[in-house]
Amino acid sequence: MAHAPINGSTLRWARETMFIARGELARAAGTSEGRIAKFEAGDTRPTLRQLEIIANKLDRTIAFFFTDPPDESDVPETADFRAGNGEPIPSRLAREMRRAEQHRDTVLDLEGRPEKPALVGAINRRNLVARANEMRDLLGLTEDFTSPEGRDSQVLNFWRGLLERHGFLIFQTTKVELAVFRGLSIHHDVLPIILLNGADSNNGKVFTLFHEVAHLANRTNGMCVLSDDVSEESIANAFAANFLMPRSQVDRIASSASGTALERAKAMADAFKVSVLAAGVRLRTLDLISNKDLESIRLESDRRWEDSRESRKNCGGGPAPWRIRYRDLGSGYVGVVARALEDERVDLLDASYLMNARIPMAKQMIDEYHRTEGLE
């Protein structure tokens, strides 16, 4: 049986970079943890089939393992990517972050270096209301502007498209559980990245978008946690709430709403096309409800969303895989690849690689982009 003369140090670097334990890699490759340790030490070599599995698990090409290890990790670092108990970032999330960075490199290679994003200066508790208004101005929105009417998915696509036209890259992923993260941001001076969890509700994603904009305004990477326990998260929540739900409009709606805190949050959510939880956060920042009310809204919101997801699962079906991939990449990124294909700067095999899809799926996404003219 043929064995592959890999560089063991490179294997170890790739495994540790993706936060994968030896035991997890061993189970995937059908071998023992001790044997993985020997592969890394150079004492023995994996079979070609084992190397193929290892490369897929670590999201690398087979050729990568025959080279020396890089000097630095290619997974972006962020302080709050580690939980309070010190647990490392899940390997699935590390993979998605790395792929988002690869997609950014693709845009820069194919489209050149764009203008800097429309982004306000640093945000703190004293200036966050002014910064939210300033961000609206940068995006060409008036104070009385609210989300357009339409399905939740159309509202999300409106905000996503607006930010992408102003210098942001936005992707989604369905590979990581919602309990792990709702969204994250990776700061760059040009083409900063926002990654949304595709398992969240569309209205929830809208709030997450502008929560992450706050992290980027402060020139930090961040991960969305709808909790006020951490100062930076509290500021990001308050900025997003002020941006999407300006005080003047909130006062008008809140004055006409009645009932429990949950009922008032629902009225706000309907008016601003945000999640009930986001509306609850906004009501709390204005001291219109208590912390206990907000926690009750949070629990009810989570319960209803889980019930909704279970209901959809039981119904079966769902979008075709290529449609989910198209949604995750977004029409902006698919358009970059589609234009390069049309101009013969890449071929269909290149396009499939750039979209992490097999050729038939890549062709479906490109056809959809041309059919809709990039409108989702």
In order along its 376 residues, the chain shows pLDDT tens digits of: 678 898 999 999 999 988 899 999 999 999 999 999 999 999 999 999 999 999 989 989 899 999 999 888 877 765 444 333 345 678 888 889 999 999 999 999 999 888 889 999 999 999 999 999 999 999 999 877 877 777 888 899 999 999 999 999 999 998 888 878 888 999 999 999 999 999 888 988 999 999 999 999 988 755 555 554 457 888 898 899 999 998 888 888 877 777 888 988 988 898 888 888 889 988 888 888 899 999 999 888 878 877 776 666 666 667 889 999 999 999 999 999 999 999 999 999 999 999 999 999 999 999 999 998 877 6
Domain with CATH 1.10.260.40 in the chain: 8-65
Cα–Cα distance between 76 and 73 in angstroms, integer?
Answer: 8
Cβ-Cβ contacts under 8 Å for 158 (sequence gap 6 or more): 147, 148, 150
Q: What long-range pairs does 296-304 form, CB within 8 A, spacing at least 24?
A: 296/261, 296/262, 297/261, 297/262, 297/265, 298/226, 300/262, 300/276, 301/275, 301/276, 301/277, 304/276
Task: Name the CATH architecture for the domain at 8-65.
Answer: Orthogonal Bundle (1.10)
